[in-house]
């Protein structure tokens, strides 16, 4: 699905040099490379504070802890997402309340969010799925009107822009109280292991999140809060420091791949290409088709027989997962159920050559037209 090898080869000298410098310094935990990367990411995102941590799941957990959410508090999440979003809610004893998504953007459905708000609702977690933002303007208006916190799950959309109707444009992840991201290797900005970050424009929340990420420690061996041990290590930061200046180029390369897929599939009956919302720039973490009348299992097998990988993100919605039954309500989840049954993601990455892509397109069209 992604070609990390070729990307590494292209940046090898820079990355190797950066990693070797950390090895020479033996500053493996914290230190100037981690701090330097955090400051550079703040500048890129245009946000006041970036707090690096061990992974995107921890980022969500630390954000929820920093907001002081307590067991029994309700947190609204889309049911069409990766499990991490709901996992941390449940781990903290909070109550996930699952709502459906919009059919075009695959992001949280604001009408259902509004209906789901109760006096116990303390936070909403919009997930910027596949690389484009949820309707953050509408969501922030709703959340502010009810005094509810917003934590953006920005794991799949780092680098995306969000345009407000007043003309203001900001980076995804910098709109809510917190934005949480993942540097998992296959993400748009990926390191060589696990990594994550929390960002916020709120000084007080930033200070609390920083303390929580470091065992709740306010001074050496003084623990005023219960925290976690969640650190981005310096070797990962060294990789990310090299890759960050390339992020906009990575996004442009992914977008060129998406444009070529769109052109090939747009007039093909049975395939719906991704809808690009007007308020958000799509950064194409995934290129996901919605099939209509095309047998997905057979298409997937046909592609595999022809050595074309494909993935289903996600086959089972949260509300149907045994572990998360507590968040299932009697709401209508028809859009998510339709998507879980019909989405298929094709390979997309920064190194895709036109010839490779033509082959993938040819195989998809061969199967769909045959049917
Ligand atoms: C939407 C979403 N949220 C959270 C995460 C968790 O990130 P990590 O794997 O770094 O913990 C991911 C990563 O796969 C994700 O896609």
All CATH 3.40.640.10 domain ranges in the chain, comma separated: 4-98+106-245
Q: Which atom of ligand 1 is nearest to the CA of 59?
A: 11
Selection from 318, 322, 343 nearest residue 99 by Cα = 318
Query: For a pLDDT cut of 90, what percent of the chain falls above it?
Result: 97
Q: Average pLDDT of 272-297?
A: 96
Give Cα 252 distance to the centre of its chain: 18
The finding on whether 179 has its CB within 6 A of some atom of ligand 1 is no
How high is the pLDDT of residue 335?
98
Q: In the predicted model, is pLDDT for residue 205 greater than 90?
A: yes
Per-residue pLDDT reduced to its tens digit, 209-237 = 999 999 999 999 999 999 999 999 999 99
All CATH 3.90.1150.10 domain ranges in the chain, comma separated: 247-370
The finding on whether 156 has its CB within 6 A of some atom of ligand 1 is yes
CA of 154 to the centre of ligand 1 (A): 9
Does this model's pTM top 0.75? My answer is yes
CA of 6 to the centre of ligand 1 (A): 23
Measured distance CA(215)–CA(228) in Å, rounded: 5
Q: Which atom of ligand 1 is nearest to the CA of 195?
A: 10
Which one-letter DSSP state was computed for residue 117?
A: -
How high is the pLDDT of residue 330?
83
Residue 242, H or E segment:
helix 234-243
pLDDT band at residue 137 using 50, 70 and 90 as cut-offs: very high
The finding on whether 173 has its CB within 6 A of some atom of ligand 1 is no
Per-residue pLDDT reduced to its tens digit, 5-34 = 999 999 999 999 999 999 999 999 999 999
Nearest residue (CA) to ligand 1, atom 12: 155
Query: For a pLDDT cut of 70, what percent of the chain falls above it?
Result: 100
Measured distance CA(194)–CA(201) in Å, rounded: 24
3-class SS at 178? strand
Sequence-ordered list of residues with C-beta below 8 angstroms from that of 129, at least 6 positions apart, any chain: 78, 80, 81, 101, 105, 106, 107, 156, 157
**How far, in Å, are 102, 199, 274 from residue 62 at the CA level?**
28, 11, 32
pLDDT band at residue 82 using 50, 70 and 90 as cut-offs: very high
The finding on whether 314 has its CB within 6 A of some atom of ligand 1 is no
Q: Which atom of ligand 1 is nearest to the CA of 84?
A: 4
The finding on whether 184 has its CB within 6 A of some atom of ligand 1 is yes
* Residue whose CB lies within 8 A of the most ligand 1 atoms, among 54, 80, 108, 156, for a mutation test: 156
- For 4-98+106-245, CATH gives 3.40.640.10
pLDDT band at residue 313 using 50, 70 and 90 as cut-offs: very high
Binning the chain into helix, strand and coil, the percentages to the nearest 5 are 45, 20, 40
* Residue whose CB lies within 8 A of the most ligand 1 atoms, among 155, 187, 197, 318, for a mutation test: 155
The finding on whether 152 has its CB within 6 A of some atom of ligand 1 is no
The finding on whether 153 has its CB within 6 A of some atom of ligand 1 is yes
How high is the pLDDT of residue 327?
73
The finding on whether 288 has its CB within 6 A of some atom of ligand 1 is no
Measured distance CA(173)–CA(247) in Å, rounded: 15
How high is the pLDDT of residue 29?
95
The finding on whether 112 has its CB within 6 A of some atom of ligand 1 is no
Report the largest interatomic distance among the alpha carbons of the chain, rounded to a whole angstrom. Answer: 68
CA of 232 to the centre of ligand 1 (A): 15
Class of domain 247-370: alpha beta
pLDDT band at residue 328 using 50, 70 and 90 as cut-offs: confident
């Amino acid at each position: 699905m992604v070609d990390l090898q070729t990307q590494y080869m292209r940046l090898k000298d820079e990355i190797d040099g950066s990693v070797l410098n950390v090895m020479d310094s033996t500053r493996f935990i914290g230190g100037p490379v981690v701090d330097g990367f955090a400051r550079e990411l703040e500048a890129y995102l245009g946000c006041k504070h970036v707090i690096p941590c061990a992974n995107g799941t921890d980022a969500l957990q630390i954000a929820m802890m920093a907001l002081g959410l307590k067991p029994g508090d309700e947190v609204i999440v889309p049911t069409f997402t990766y499990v991490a979003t709901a996992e941390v809610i449940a781990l903290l004893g909070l109550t996930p309340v699952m709502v459906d998504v919009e059919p075009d953007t695959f992001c949280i459905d604001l009408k259902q969010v509004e209906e789901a708000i109760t006096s116990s609702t303390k936070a909403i977690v919009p997930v910027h799925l596949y690389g484009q933002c949820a309707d953050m303007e509408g969501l922030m208006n709703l959340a502010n009107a009810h005094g509810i916190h917003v934590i953006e799950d920005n794991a799949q959309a780092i680098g995306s822009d969000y345009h407000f109707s007043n003309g203001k444009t900001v980076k995804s992840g910098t709109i809510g109280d917190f934005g949480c991201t993942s540097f998992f290797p296959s993400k748009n900005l990926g390191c060589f292991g696990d990594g994550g970050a929390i960002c916020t424009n709120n000084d007080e929340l930033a200070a609390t999140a920083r303390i929580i990420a470091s065992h709740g420690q306010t001074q050496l061996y003084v623990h005023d809060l219960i925290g976690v041990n969640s650190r981005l290590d310096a070797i990962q930061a060294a990789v990310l420091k090299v890759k960050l200046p390339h992020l906009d180029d990575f996004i442009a390369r992914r977008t060129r791949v998406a444009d070529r897929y769109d052109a090939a599939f747009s007039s093909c009956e049975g395939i719906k290409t991704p809808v690009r919302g007007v308020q958000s720039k799509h950064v194409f973490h995934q290129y996901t088709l919605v099939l209509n009348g095309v047998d997905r299992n057979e298409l997937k097998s046909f592609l595999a027989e022809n050595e074309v990988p494909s993935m289903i993100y996600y086959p089972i919605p949260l509300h149907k997962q045994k572990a998360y039954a507590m968040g299932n309500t009697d709401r209508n989840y028809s859009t998510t159920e339709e998507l879980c049954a019909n989405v298929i993601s094709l390979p997309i990455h920064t190194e895709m050559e036109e010839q490779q892509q033509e082959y993938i397109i040819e195989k998809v069209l061969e199967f769909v037209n045959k049917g």
